[in-house]
Structures are given as C-alpha cells and as structure tokens.
Chains A and B, each alone.
Chain A
Amino acid sequence: MVVPVEEMRGIIGHRFPGGTYRIEHWENFLVHDVMLVDQSPDKIAHPLYFFHLPVAGLGVTIQDIFALCRADSPDAVRAGEYVWEIERPLREDRTYRVSGEVTDVVRKEGRRGGVMDLVTFVTEISDVTDGEPEGPDARISNMWIFLRGAT
C-alpha cells in the first residue's frame, strides 16, 4: 500500500537534530581517491562533501532519512535535483555546523516509475571552528525521489 500523500506532506518542516562535522584529512584523502583526483595542497575539501555533510552532519544516517520518508527499500530511492549554493569551499581540519529541514514533498506519477514522492531537504553548512560565523559557507538543497511502486 502506498503511503498516503497527506502523511508524506506531514514531514514538511521536519527539522533534523543537526550537529557538527569535522572534515578529517584521512576522509578527504579517500574522497579524492574515490573521485580519481589528487588533493590540492591547500586542504580544500572535495565538492563531494556538499553531498556528504548534509547527511553526516545532520545527526542522522541515510537509513534514518529513508525511514522518515517511508522508503519501501533502499533501492527504491533515487537522486533527484541538487542545488548547491557555495559561498566558499570547505576545508580539512575545520568543524562545520550543519542544520536542515524537509522543505517540500511533491507526489508525482510517472509512466515507468509509478507513484513517487519528491522530497527536498535544505541544509546550511557553517564553519564554527573559530566561533559564530557571519553566515553559512553553503546552502544545499538536495531532492531525493522515493519510488512507491504502481498504484
């Protein structure tokens, strides 16, 4: 049975616990290795962190988000549209505060995918290593697609 759309729209405004995340050298090294590029000498984090931090720093796991969005299974989730607005690059050995919430849920029905919910999460990433910042380093909007199968 497909989760009622009213129930899904009820998660709009859901705020995640939030938290902080320190970008460690070892992890940034491995992320660069995954992305098949060498690290820069100035400790800039790979842009893949604009995907990683909005989950890892929110105080939840991917599985928690799947549960919140009533994912049928992990493989019934697809990446949708990502919007990354970046004031400055992220760096190793810095601690970032991550806060975020669910901002939108849209139900659609596709010819191939059946019923699906498009869930948008907006996250702000701020460097708090040296205290309270003037503004966020990045604002990230990631939309994930939760396939609900046929009607």
Chain B
Amino acid sequence: MTKLPRPGDALPQWSVESVPLEKMKILAAILRDPNSIHWDREAVAAKGYGDKVINQGPINLCYVTNMLEAWAGVGSLRRLVARFTANVVEGDHVTAGGTVTAVRTDNGRTLVDCDVWLERRGVGRAVEGSATVELSH
C-alpha cells in the first residue's frame, strides 16, 4: 500500500465465482458440525430449504476477511463486527467489499475502520458489518 486510504475509499473487492460444496464438507468435518444443511443435498430438500447445500456462516464471514487481508495484509485484522442477513448456497457467485470510514492512529498503530459486506449475486447482502485493520502490521 503506497499511500494511506481516505474515508470514502472503496476497498478492492474479492469474489468467488461459484461457492464450492466440497469446501463446506471439509469445514463441517474440521468443526465437527453435525448440521446436514452444510453437506447433504437430500437433507436440505427434506427440510424445505431448496435443492442446494447451504454454506456455513463462518465461511461467508471469512470471505470478507479474505478481502480485508488481500488489501491490508495477512494478520492485519483487529476488529470485526458482522451479522448474517441471508444464506449463501453452493454455486452462488459472491463478492466481498467495503468502504473506508475512518483512518486513525492508536499507540503508534495506523488503524483503518471500514464498513464491510458480502454480496450474493442476484439476491443481495449475505453479511454486513464493520471492521478495523492495522496497516502497520
């Protein structure tokens, strides 16, 4: 990053062309998450949620952190406040983005506050929130 961002600056977006089912299965195993809506299409259909497996909320949230770290650097995240406003399902095109709201210093650290979001193409926001990253990391 060659110059400090300013309030109102848009963050470089980060996208997934097609949210992959296989990654949901891997994470379900790592987390020991018993919720079958994240790994079984038939279970999803039987529960009346459609015919596509539903992505885990933490994956949706961390598409946002991927966007932040791609911009500010790995390990730069200092605060994240987020809520989940819609599901993301296998095959979705999603884009994470944000806008700078403040740039400040704290004990010699340069901190950037941002509004952040994850957009599900054709549906709307799936995650909304705010974040702080440290640029001097």
A residues sitting closer than 8 Å to B (CB atoms) are 27, 30-31, 33-37, 40, 42, 44, 46-48, 50-52, 55-56, 61-63, 66, 74-75, 77-89
Q: Which residues of the partner chain B approach A31 to less than 8 Å between Cβ atoms?
A: 27, 30
**Contact present for A52 and B84 (CB under 8 Å):** no
Add 20 more A-B contacts to A33-B23, A80-B83, A83-B79 (CB < 8 A): A36-B23, A37-B66, A37-B70, A44-B74, A44-B75, A46-B62, A47-B69, A47-B80, A52-B58, A61-B32, A62-B33, A62-B34, A74-B34, A74-B36, A78-B57, A79-B61, A82-B80, A82-B81, A82-B82, A88-B75
- Which residues 19-69 in B have Cβ within 8 Å of A in the complex? 20, 23, 26-27, 30-37, 47, 49, 57-59, 61-63, 65-66, 69
Question: B interface, how many residues as a size bin?
Answer: 35 or more
**Contact present for B34 and A34 (CB under 8 Å):** no
**Given known contacts A36-B16, A82-B81, A83-B81, is B36 in contact with A75 (CB within 8 Å)?**
yes
Q: List the 9 shortest-distance A-B pairs measured between CB atoms, nearest first.
A: A79-B57, A89-B75, A74-B35, A47-B65, A51-B58, A40-B74, A84-B80, A81-B83, A34-B23
Least Cβ distance of B78 to chain A in Å? 5
Q: Which residues of the partner chain A approach B84 to less than 8 Å between Cβ atoms?
A: 78-80
B residues sitting closer than 8 Å to A (CB atoms) are 16, 20, 23, 26-27, 30-37, 47, 49, 57-59, 61-63, 65-66, 69-70, 74-75, 77-84
Kindly state the separation between the CA atoms of A80 and B128 in the bound complex, as whole angstroms.
11
Kindly state the separation between the CA atoms of A83 and B79 in the bound complex, as whole angstroms.
7
Partner of A47, one of B16, B32, B37, B77: B77
Partner of B26, one of A34, A42, A86: A34
Least Cβ distance of A44 to chain B in Å? 5
**Contact present for B33 and A40 (CB under 8 Å):** no
Kindly state the separation between the CA atoms of A80 and B82 in the bound complex, as whole angstroms.
8
